[in-house]
Structure 1
């Protein structure tokens, strides 16, 4: 296949059994044409994460995001419910809100049209002489938004089944850890010079840990003891047993519910297409990915504490130490994934055979191929 037909090249790639599989074709990462397909058929037709529900605590707390170029507001309405709506004014189409913050009402920065927290139009100055103006017909279009296990999930697709329907197996694996009750302690936004899929794949496999993370966590990894189980329709996963070298990696000393290896197990969940979660009995951290052209990715990077540790007086200092480690690991991942992107620009760039430790990458490629039109 040529670079001019990257979707066909991907379909041919994933038709090969995993035992003989190769990495995705270069054009799947570098092609503007393929990214346009992803925006229409992957991002516009999937549940995407806007972060943690506890980031929006009070009525009027809001954040903004984009889905396939569509500006979206997510907020707590006056009744305390999560709500998502268009972030485009119904007058002259200005963007209404930026970043995140708190508002009592949504006021357009261009002509001061003002909307209630449910999206209905509250007022519009100097519109009384226009006979076509109808305030009741000019509310902000609503967008589907749900709280799934403490994650804010948003979709442009009005017919997509709720996340719980497509991710039932998550409960079977990690239901003993109350994700919905974990407390977020940091939330940051970054932009890296790499393709979004390169970063997603990097999270999905631990084959790179000994080399890429040689300065931090790589020395504790034994490739011979790693396994990558077969994933599910909506996500892939693997898990690691950790010791108490990181204070928050294991269950709190006062926790009597977790027993045996469940007190030490770290889960890595890749929820398709772009929510990447590391979940331990003590803390969690996550990445939410948004493509910004083929060669850049916008990253929402956050994390926090299991409720047992959130109320422990010593937890903040332990988490500060942990956050320093997470940041260092993140910096190492940035270097590795940006080098992959740079290497893909070479005329000699050719995808290599996959290790048995890269099964999640193969499943991710098959999922993307399944979302594209035939």
Structure 2
């Protein structure tokens, strides 16, 4: 038995990132397939860092809510009566039923088991047939609050009360792409689906555009040139690269009426991978994103949304343009699903071995460094 077969997945990962980038290989198979490594990810990453619940404009009215799970913890995200977006536990303080499911609008949070009812701020409004219990004190009972901040239009949630605010941790994102002002873009679709691959395989697929000409030959592969892709060094909070687009996908370019964007600003597509799992494609015309959570080593739950910039939304042909963008992205997703599920099937092979990385896969190596920084060897 050789040394690498005796290492834990975490130790294998740390060994993987101990070399310079120009000697780097893809991550070890075990970090994708191991149940024990996933448990470490849930504890040290998903329960600690910020996750994206979507866009603030998707919750426009008081009582609008969505639900999510973070590291196994059921969470409600809603707009309260004061207009603020907040997050709280989605578990009743009585017999611990989950409360809300899916998305919708509600005047109050009512437990489906015994009808304990909570206000939109999480305080207990009423509980039937509790008057004879001398320990019951309604003012003392409320749904635990969870960190929630809106950052450039993104609703960010963390179970960690000490997590550094996104506005501080991600200031470099604003410095990089602030000229496009993500807060002014409007989400027009939001979907959720589950793919048969590891969450990191899908994240890495987003982080590199090396695969575009081949995996996406039927859609966007012809709109970019590998020689025009730039993969600079990222930061400890995110990695990024950009593509200078040609006119093959005109909606990715600045609107003709936009005079604020100049030169390459009008045609650069940014790919932002905000750790651990918010993946944003940002163009002058439209945006789309994925927010990932693991569902076992072999499946990933995907929140997929997108929309358009303010000037393209104001265009008389907005509805037609939106339909064009959505149809394109749906086709891109079909291609990505096929590619990433093939990768996971390959990872299960006994003969599979991680190979050396291209210079266009620098973000993947930095992602591995991020994982290693969070998970002890």
Give the TM-score, by structure 1 length: 0.98
**Please, which runs of 5 or more residues in structure 1 have no aligned partner?**
none
CA distance in structure 1 between the aligned counterparts of 2:255 and 2:214, rounded to whole angstroms = 31
Partner of 1:41: 44
Partner of 1:99: 102
Residue of 144, 147, 161 corresponding to 1:144: 147
Partner of 1:266: 269
Q: CA deviation at 1:350?
A: 0.9
Partner of 2:216: 213
Asked if the contact 1:183/1:306 (under 8 Å) is kept, the reply is: yes
CA distance in structure 2 between the aligned counterparts of 1:197 and 1:40, rounded to whole angstroms = 16
Partner of 1:159: 162
CA distance in structure 2 between the aligned counterparts of 1:242 and 1:373, rounded to whole angstroms = 40
CA distance in structure 2 between the aligned counterparts of 1:3 and 1:38, rounded to whole angstroms = 20
Moved more, 247-256 or 117-126: 247-256
Residue of 53, 56, 62 corresponding to 2:56: 53
3-state SS in 1 of match to 2:180:
coil
Asked if the contact 2:230/2:243 (under 8 Å) is kept, the reply is: no
Residue of 113, 118, 139 corresponding to 1:115: 118
CA distance in structure 2 between the aligned counterparts of 1:244 and 1:205, rounded to whole angstroms = 21
CA distance in structure 2 between the aligned counterparts of 1:323 and 1:98, rounded to whole angstroms = 26
CA distance in structure 2 between the aligned counterparts of 1:314 and 1:222, rounded to whole angstroms = 29
Q: CA deviation at 1:4?
A: 5.9
Q: How does 1:1-374 map to 2 (within 5 A)?
A: 1-2=4-5, 5-374=8-377
CA distance in structure 1 between the aligned counterparts of 2:210 and 2:142, rounded to whole angstroms = 50
Moved more, 307-316 or 361-370: 307-316
Q: CA deviation at 1:2?
A: 2.6
**Please, which runs of 5 or more residues in structure 2 have no aligned partner?**
none
Q: CA deviation at 1:322?
A: 1.5
3-state SS in 1 of match to 2:101:
coil
CA distance in structure 1 between the aligned counterparts of 2:52 and 2:101, rounded to whole angstroms = 17
Pairwise CA RMSD: 1.0
Asked if the contact 2:228/2:244 (under 8 Å) is kept, the reply is: no
Q: CA deviation at 1:259?
A: 1.1
Q: How many residues align?
A: 374
CA distance in structure 1 between the aligned counterparts of 2:325 and 2:59, rounded to whole angstroms = 24
3-state SS in 1 of match to 2:352:
coil
Deviations 1:131-186 (A, max 9, x none): 11111111000000000000000000001110111111111210001101111100
Asked if the contact 1:248/1:319 (under 8 Å) is kept, the reply is: no
CA distance in structure 2 between the aligned counterparts of 1:2 and 1:115, rounded to whole angstroms = 52
CA distance in structure 2 between the aligned counterparts of 1:354 and 1:97, rounded to whole angstroms = 44
3-state SS in 2 of match to 1:2:
helix
Asked if the contact 1:281/1:306 (under 8 Å) is kept, the reply is: yes
3-state SS in 1 of match to 2:5:
coil
